[in-house]
Structure 1
Amino acid sequence: MNIKPADKTIKALLKSGRQFMIPRFQRDYSWEKKNCEEFLDDIIKCLKCKDGKLETTSYFLGTMLFIGNFDEKSDKEIQVVDGQQRITTITILFSAISDIFREKGEDNLSKLIFSYIMTSDDDGNEVRIIKSESSYPYFSYYIQDREKMVKQEPSSEEELCIQTTYRLFRSRLEEKNLKDFMSEKCDGFQNDISLIDILKAIRDQILNCIFISISTDDNTQAYRIFEILNAKGKKLAAIDLIKNRLFEKLRKTEPADYAKCKWDELKSIINECDLASVGIGTYYRHFWNSCYKQTGASLLYDRFLSIIKTSDYESFLDSLVQNAKYYVQIIKPTRDDYHNRKEYFWLVQSFNVLSNYFGIAQVRVVLMALLWVKDNNLISTKDFKQVILFLENFHFAYTAVMSGKANKLDGIYSKFSIAIRKSSSKNQTKEIILSKLYACLTPLIPTEEQFTEQFISLCFTKKATAANMKCKYALQKLNCYYQKKEIFEDDSSIEHILPECNEGNVTNIGNLIMLEGNLNTEADKIDYAEKLKVYEKSTYKWVHDFTDKHPVWEEEMIGNRARSMATLYYHKILKI
């Protein structure tokens, strides 16, 4: 094997005159706050104070793996196979230090440290020492431009991570924060040491860090070493290993880089979710459990290797991208997804309820499969609507009201989703829904007594809470029942019949009703006799039913009404 190991310092690496390319198969920059803080803490703790001056000590940064020959001419790129996260973090830290130097009037020091971020070729043209396609141009503008002439907001998970890391370093390197930390962690530290001298010492400590450089000019060797290093050290996420494997086997880049194009499309789709809790890793686990086999996060890569044939990698990527589109429709539903057609308003509402009212993640496994069979004309319109609404009602009762255990559903949902994707007809799909979904979930539905005891504790307060969303949903569904509609009223708001400012049980669902927003404002805190005049203006049938039955309203009535609402809901709305 043509492998060249060598001891190097960070200074030698960044001053080698080479440009370091982050390969197409590499994961995005993803170091979390704790990783960056640990790195900076370790660097600072290495500094020793002697005779009022800071001195560096040895620090080992581990192993880094490169594709390329450091002995060849310097205009040829070196690919970073393992070490990207560390080199990128160092670059961000140097950019932060450079900016502080400049702000403190130390422009020469600012330029000198920036030479480890940007260099120049023989013609004087600026060259980025780190070159990454996935974060371009954000990384270039935000980190690699000393002037920071172009302002750009992060538009992906990776870009947000870069911004967060830079801001973290700027905060940690503020004089007070830095000196407070060093007073506690650095032996003999003297508080009169200037901020500039501290930053210079941190710079030198990083530049003197030692690592083992392993380089090879053979791509296959690099991929294999990458997997060996990962197996022995801290494991990468399954999605990073899977990406590495796909890109290793799908190497063709002309006339187009199929793997990279598909992966970029996947990232773009998932980024549309715009939720911190949803990344490619989360999506992939749901996708896999929906299509192949229920699998825990730790076994996803092994299962991928054992189940997916190399010859199927392209079709696997196609499926990964297509299901990602379904995933976004589920998590961030809009009427535009269905060209604003009224017959799909209920579906948008149902997806919104499951994702944003109840916050249920594992149901996405089923919903992706249902959207797939719908697109492939393997389910009737009636059955499709019926099963989605069943899931909505089930999760209100089982999850929102009863706080049922989510892990009871994982196996049911995965087996059902895999089975339904193998269906060859609408009739077969219906049979699978009956035998593998309804039959499995029905025993988990609470009894009327169980449901009622939890339902009557639902509350809605001014303070935003997850419990508020459950109560709001129940009230909207009850209002729809009286209105004989399936879509929530756009102008509705929650009215506290006895004002919320009163003490007692006034936030309980038994004291709540839906009312038009303008009438809710008008009713506000007036007494019940006056509120009746406002309620008479409402177009909601539920409001008039309530006033007909309750010419007088007192706190003692709240509990009984809550129970009546639970009974009505269980028999007339759940229907499961």
Structure 2
Amino acid sequence: MSLIQTHSFTITQALQSCFYRIPDYQREYVWGPTEAVQLLDDITESIDAGGKQYFVGTVLVAADGPGRQADELDVIDGQQRTTTFFLMLCALRRRFRGHPQQPTIEGLLASSYTNLEGMTVSRLRLEPCYENAADLVQFLRQYDGADGELSDALDHAAIERFGSAARLTDVFLAISEYLDHNFPEHADLARFWGHLANNVIFIQIQTDVSSALKIFETINERGIGLNPMDLLKNLLFAQVKQDDFAKLKDKWKKITTPLEQKKQKPLRFLRYFVMANYKIRDAHSKGIVREDQIYSWFVDKDNAAVAGYATRPFEFVDTVAANVERYLAFQSGRDSQGSPSAALANLQHLTGTSLSQHHVLLLAGGKLRPANFEHLVEQIENFLFFYVFTRTSTKDLEALFSRWADEIREFSTITDEATQRLALNEFIATHFQSSIASKHDELRDALRRYRLGSMPKYRSRYLLARITQHVDMAHSGTKTRGLLSQYTNLEIEHILPQTPRSDLLGEWCEGNDEDYQSYVNRLGNLTLLEKPHNIVAGNDFYDSKKPLYSQSGNYLTRSIAQLSTVGKNTTVTTINSRLQAFEHWDAKAIDVRTEVLISLALEIWSTAPAA
């Protein structure tokens, strides 16, 4: 076996020192947004660790791959993380556009040199030989547009997206969304970048290809080091007699096996479990337990007494296993009893994969009576909506939720459902209602400035779906909210077409001083429409679309063309007073409808006491 060299590198040191290639014989890029967001969460959580280095694992590279240049290394193991870090840099470069950080990041993404013909040639620091990915990664490295415009831009550049290329695109957008929502201010983003550039480290193992492949086989066959939960497991084994080891091992599997099957990070679950179930006493922690503090938290004498694992180890394991079951149920849209929950399913349309801190509150409220729990989830959705759509940083939510979890646990123990409901209503009024009320003006301004593409499309679809559902409920007099999925499956229709025919564009320019493109993606120009109608509507004039809107299955879209008239003092007349039909479609109509939808939004996303 050739000489094996090891180096401790930061991300910047690694990319400054060499060029990397994902060789053809490697597997495709298989990570998705979930894995990328978990990695981002790990890095973000380590920022507050007092400048300590954060270890993200090992990368195995070979120095003599086929077709390799002198300064190029083949990545044998760790290509998923390596590629994801490269996508992070692409997203950061775009966010730092026009700031001093941009040139530095561009230098980490690619290096330029002059060839013999005197032409400047750009060479990527990471060459991903995934199928159909080279052009895509080169494009993402230079992309400066909005997230919502990426798909059209890739289509225009004739870059196909399937397999690895599709996953790379999804992860890039997930990273971008994560940075937007967790670091909305330039100073916060700069702090994240400083931590990533200087404190996030990995161990690079370098040798020749044949030796590297042998090392890779050894690592995957024999494992390296402890599983993240092994220290806690060993702590528990120290509390029981040897005769009980088999029993404890079987119980422990009820914790680890379900998490592994659902590909959930054990440490993330443990953090949420601790904050949801115990009062965090450390004043400096702000109620948060970081991943690198979990074991220390458990071995603390006072915490050990509260958790009870030393005196009641089996009972403790059962408690953790029950929380695992709830945690996974919540993520699949089911409540603590395993029953389908419309509130949890609807919440997922808003949170996607980038928001998970609310599981602290869900776990804390897992023992609430079913109706009360469902109401709590609905109010969490309303609360988070304001945070997401006003682009308020969500990084402080964990500290907030950890403190609130203490209160939820307390009234969860109330056995009488009505008394429990009163305590829940007081909690909602104290925490959710006050926070939402303080953000009304901010939300109104944010929705006026909203453009399709300014945030991930699934959240824009959620926004329109929730308003559409609300109008349908008001139109029919329905009081109980159902699943949002029947609306999120509809197409987003631009009333003023995205790609207008020349005659339509000419007509707009004659009658409006405002720029066409500035209006086409505004909230008031968007509605939800069934796919067959959406296809037919195409790029036609408004007059041609109105009959299609009248045939829509949802009243919000039908009302654009004409309001229903059904008697007096009915639910229809009530919702009609909040809506408006339009004879013509111009800039003024879009402005008016934007205000109509904003008014509905402020009515929809508001707190309400449990009845």
Range into which the TM-score falls when normalised by the shorter chain = 0.5 to 0.7
SS at match of 1:311: coil
Shift, 1:330, TM fit = 2.0
Which residue number corresponds to residue 104 of structure 2?
Answer: none
Any conservation in 2 of the 1:402–1:451 contact (CA below 8 Å)?
A: no
User: How far apart are the structure 2 equivalents of 1:504 and 1:203?
Assistant: 54
Residue correspondences, number: 376
- 1:120-139 equivalences under 5 Å are none
Shift, 1:554, TM fit = 1.4
Which residue number corresponds to residue 191 of structure 2?
Answer: none
Which residue number corresponds to residue 537 of structure 2?
Answer: 523
User: How far apart are the structure 1 equivalents of 2:550 and 2:215?
Assistant: 76
SS at match of 1:261: helix
User: How far apart are the structure 2 equivalents of 1:169 and 1:466?
Assistant: 36
Matching of residue 389 in structure 1 with residue 389 in structure 2: no
CA-to-aligned-CA distance 1:219-269 (integer Å, 9 cap, x gap) = xxxxxxxxxxxxxxxx98974432221233345466x72332233332222
Any conservation in 2 of the 1:335–1:345 contact (CA below 8 Å)?
A: yes
CA-to-aligned-CA distance 1:447-466 (integer Å, 9 cap, x gap) = 432221112233324xxx74
Which residue number corresponds to residue 180 of structure 1?
Answer: 71
Shift, 1:287, TM fit = 0.6
Any conservation in 1 of the 2:472–2:556 contact (CA below 8 Å)?
A: yes
User: How far apart are the structure 1 equivalents of 2:442 and 2:209?
Assistant: 63
SS at match of 1:257: helix
- 1:408-487 equivalences under 5 Å are 408=397, 409-445=400-436, 446-461=438-453, 466-484=455-473, 486=481, 487=483
Shift, 1:345, TM fit = 5.0
Name the stretch that deviates more: 539-548 or 398-407: 398-407
Q: Could you tell me which of 391, 399, 411 is aligned with 2:388?
A: 399
Any conservation in 1 of the 2:465–2:528 contact (CA below 8 Å)?
A: yes
Any conservation in 1 of the 2:347–2:378 contact (CA below 8 Å)?
A: no
Shift, 1:475, TM fit = 0.7
Change (3 A) 1:171 1:564: farther
Amino acid at match of 1:269: P
Which residue number corresponds to residue 316 of structure 2?
Answer: 316
User: How far apart are the structure 2 equivalents of 1:264 and 1:506?
Assistant: 54
Which residue number corresponds to residue 163 of structure 2?
Answer: none
Shift, 1:290, TM fit = 0.5
Q: Could you tell me which of 597, 606, 609 is aligned with 1:565?
A: 597
Change (3 A) 1:247 1:172: farther
Change (3 A) 1:334 1:300: closer
CA-to-aligned-CA distance 1:524-564 (integer Å, 9 cap, x gap) = 22221111122122122112211121121113432332122
User: How far apart are the structure 2 equivalents of 1:521 and 1:296?
Assistant: 51
Which residue number corresponds to residue 233 of structure 2?
Answer: 243
Any conservation in 2 of the 1:363–1:413 contact (CA below 8 Å)?
A: no
Any conservation in 2 of the 1:393–1:574 contact (CA below 8 Å)?
A: yes
- 1:241-320 equivalences under 5 Å are 241-250=231-240, 252=242, 257-274=246-263, 278-294=264-280, 295-297=288-290, 298-305=292-299, 306=301, 307=303, 308-309=307-308, 310-320=310-320
Q: Could you tell me which of 349, 359, 363 is aligned with 2:345?
A: 349
Change (3 A) 1:529 1:36: same
Amino acid at match of 1:319: T
What's the % identity of the aligned pairs? 16
User: How far apart are the structure 1 equivalents of 2:440 and 2:255?
Assistant: 44
Gaps of 5+ in 1: 1-9, 12-32, 46-99, 101-141, 143-152, 183-196, 207-234, 374-378
Matching of residue 494 in structure 1 with residue 495 in structure 2: no
Any conservation in 1 of the 2:533–2:548 contact (CA below 8 Å)?
A: yes
Change (3 A) 1:421 1:319: farther
Shift, 1:393, TM fit = 1.1
Amino acid at match of 1:299: Q
Shift, 1:335, TM fit = 10
Amino acid at match of 2:521: T
User: How far apart are the structure 2 equivalents of 1:372 and 1:282?
Assistant: 21
Amino acid at match of 1:505: Y
Amino acid at match of 2:363: M
Shift, 1:313, TM fit = 1.7
Amino acid at match of 2:527: I
Q: TM-score, normalization: structure 1?
A: 0.55
Larger radius of gyration: 1
Q: Which runs of 4+ in 1 moved over 6 A?
A: 33-38, 165-168, 200-206, 235-238, 334-337
- 1:51-200 equivalences under 5 Å are 169=60, 174-177=65-68, 179-181=70-72, 198=208
Gaps of 5+ in 2: 19-24, 40-55, 74-206, 217-224, 281-287, 501-516, 563-580
User: How far apart are the structure 1 equivalents of 2:331 and 2:7?
Assistant: 28
Change (3 A) 1:437 1:504: closer
CA-to-aligned-CA distance 1:509-534 (integer Å, 9 cap, x gap) = 11101111221122122221111122
Any conservation in 2 of the 1:459–1:468 contact (CA below 8 Å)?
A: no
Q: TM-score, normalization: structure 2?
A: 0.52
Any conservation in 2 of the 1:354–1:392 contact (CA below 8 Å)?
A: yes
Which residue number corresponds to residue 369 of structure 1?
Answer: 364
SS at match of 2:268: helix
Change (3 A) 1:322 1:466: farther
Shift, 1:289, TM fit = 0.5
User: How far apart are the structure 2 equivalents of 1:281 and 1:170?
Assistant: 28
Shift, 1:336, TM fit = 13
